[in-house]
Chains A and B, each alone.
Chain A
């Protein structure tokens, strides 16, 4: 069976919705659609990435399958997003990684954990790795600070460069002007929309997820993941400041800022990722696309394992398991940063760009 052209299908769906507009209260997609009469590729790429996949418009649609019009926006837009991810990818040659993303992310993770572990064992020797180390700089006796810093800088640098270039690609293909990016007011609106996950509130009642009932569960769990991740980043940044400016090295005491922030973040991530995974197991598959299952699940799994190993490392850092946990955790962290722009995380970049474009064109 030939693949139906996702772009043509998205255009068809939007043409129906624009003649109907019953769903305009759910999210930003419909009011944005109403500003248009025809839907070119640029419009559709934008609308698809503005969609938060709350599924409210699927259950509310009198034309959802098995109706002969068979409108399925969440599914269509999910597939179109996947196409935009590939189209806008930098470097171009990496575009394929979004396709069998689950496999790619899994392999990168496995290889990353193996390499970090091998290098650690090679340079520090098994005896050192499998024994107990106490006190300040305990971690660095196994993996030298001088190795971690450049590695971190390179990884973060690559991640930011990749994300920025792709964000620029998105802005460009959806017809945005560079100067508009600096629009402060629009950025404020977009930021608030993103931080509150306004468009997962479905006009005040939540998502139709995992099934037909309205629920805020997904929104809350996403908050756990997002703010959990933020706390972990802040924890790392604070630790870097301690290290760099105060020459006060990890591991830090349990009642220090890096540990408190990191632990809270890590626990939030565990709750958020496992909750989202649980919902995914129970979700109605008709408004979903099987093409992104691997991408979604591998991202959740990687986040979950990174947090879990981080927390275990914190708990068992004064035992002989520390060395093993450190290698494995670091392996996961490295894999996480490498795959960030080439997996599910990229949705955050395009979503923000879409929210910004939306704020500009609706002049909120």
Chain B
């Protein structure tokens, strides 16, 4: 162990601010606290190669801005932002905090650029969000790399492979954290702490308490390190929970995806162009209910409710080029029967399902960019748009699993990112940021790019407040 590391882990040393986590929220907090003059230690449980949590899988963030710039094509005002947020959460939000977040997000891109973030101009793949969302050049990992470089330059001490297992909290006040680094446990003291350790979606045992064995068939899209250990510690110490613990953002991913960390590439966008059946070869939901960007995030949950948490997207050759290319090749067959055999579902039933679907179609004008007039009649469940007969071989099938992006439950906070306890008091020196508190703003639903917005806004607030507490 190097001198520097021994000094870092010295239990007599008292840090100003400990930051637990190594994703977007943690880095924003660490840089802000350091700039405010605090001596900061950031603890990331992942090894360096996998640093950055779910943030390394992201692509863009959404923020309020009143005019266009080099990478945003037009203004996005407070009211529109707020309306969007209210619509997707269906009111499941702390309105004051939501408005605060939007306010604080104003022109946040400038702050990000000053801290090393590189944005890219709107391009082919990014057009539909180009007014509201700014895209990171190279994606989230490039952003995280720049932030780590900047944090290091600013003088934040960074420790990888450093999992925090416990916190010493008495009457809502933080004293120290127990961290395991290279199999040795250390107790680290600090005047204040920022907890930015993400959600608990990578903790299958925890998910099982709500989902039962179904959770065994879940695929976790992001980092395996977001196990919610810190969330549990905070709740055990009397922090007030927010948002439904069963709620999670879940989409349809290719069933061949790895159990963790498959990221963006495993998602499948074929659903609106064909039908989706479960393992009994039966349809179970309207595949064409609305535009895909508005519906993709319900499919994880829908599949999670099917037997064995598996489903199959079936399309024909007319549709194979209509969606983003998939990373795994589809199963291909010249007849529905053969496709069913290869997908391991009952051929006769699938044939029946497909023919019932084909014969119920009202033939309108097909248009993938509109809510078109191709729909089914007298079919349950219906398909409301983009219904075209599945009759042109070759036929293609993808097996689908629920892919969990993140969980919603977190701890309640105020506008200083301070934890609110069950009894309504405030924890004086515990601040949280990112996914661990996003449930305050996103009680349900999702708005593309808001996860990073919440992490950036509250990371900065938490860093500032933690530094201020430490210096007084």
Contact = CB atoms under 8 A, between A and B. Distances in A.
Contacts of A31: 123-124
Interface string B123-162: 1111000000001111111100100010000000000000
B57 interface: yes
Interface in B304-330: 321, 324-327
B325 A19 contact: yes
B142 A19 contact: no
Given A15-B325, A15-B327, A19-B265, A203 B137 contact: yes
B394 interface: no
Interface residues of A, number: 32
A141 interface: no
Interface string A42-79: 00000000000000110111110011110000000000
Interface in A314-342: none
Given A34-B125, A37-B321, A62-B140, A20 B265 contact: yes
B258 A26 contact: no
B123 A25 contact: yes
B96 interface: no
A22 B264 contact: yes
Contacts of A26: 137-138
B57 A19 contact: no
B137 to A, nearest CB: 5
Nearest to A212: B145
Contacts of A124: none
A196 to B, nearest CB: 18
A19 B324 contact: yes
B383 interface: no
A191 interface: no
A61 B56 CA distance: 9
B261 A60 contact: no
Nearest to B266: A19
A56 B118 CA distance: 12
A60 B136 CA distance: 10
A24 B120 CA distance: 9
B198 interface: no
B49 interface: yes
Contacts, number: 85
Contacts of B327: 15-16, 19
A203 B120 contact: yes
A60 B141 contact: yes
Nearest to B60: A22
A278 interface: no
B121 interface: yes
B135 A25 contact: yes
Contacts of A62: 56-57, 139-141, 263
Interface in A69-125: 69
A23 interface: yes
B330 to A, nearest CB: 12
A144 B49 CA distance: 62
B34 interface: no
A34 B124 contact: yes
Nearest to B125: A21
A213 interface: yes
B118 A19 contact: no
Interface in B273-324: 321, 324
B325 A204 contact: no
Interface string A2-29: 0000000000000110111111111000
A140 interface: no
Contacts of B126: 24
Contact of A60 (B139, B149, B263, B325): B139
B388 interface: no
Contacts of A61: 141
Contact of A66 (B49, B141, B142, B149): B49
A125 B57 CA distance: 71
B150 to A, nearest CB: 12
A205 to B, nearest CB: 6
A204 B118 contact: yes
B115 interface: no
B59 interface: yes
B465 to A, nearest CB: 31
B121 A25 contact: yes
B145 A59 contact: yes
A68 B139 contact: no
Interface string B105-128: 000000000000010110111100
Contacts of B50: 67
Contacts of B145: 59-60, 212
A63 B125 contact: no
Contacts of B325: 15, 18-19, 37
Contact of A57 (B59, B125, B138, B324): B138
Contacts of A59: 138, 141-142, 145
Contacts of A20: 139, 263-265
B124 A205 contact: no
Given A22-B138, A25-B120, A57-B138, 18 more contacts: A15-B327, A16-B265, A19-B324, A20-B264, A20-B265, A22-B139, A24-B124, A24-B125, A25-B138, A34-B125, A37-B321, A60-B145, A62-B140, A62-B141, A62-B263, A66-B49, A67-B49, A67-B50
5 contacts: A22-B138, A22-B140, A25-B137, A34-B124, A66-B49
Interface of B: 49-50, 56-57, 59, 118, 120-121, 123-126, 135-142, 145, 149, 258, 261, 263-265, 321, 324-327
Q: Which 10 A-B pairs have the closest CB atoms?
A: A22-B139, A60-B138, A25-B120, A60-B142, A19-B265, A19-B327, A21-B125, A25-B137, A62-B141, A18-B325
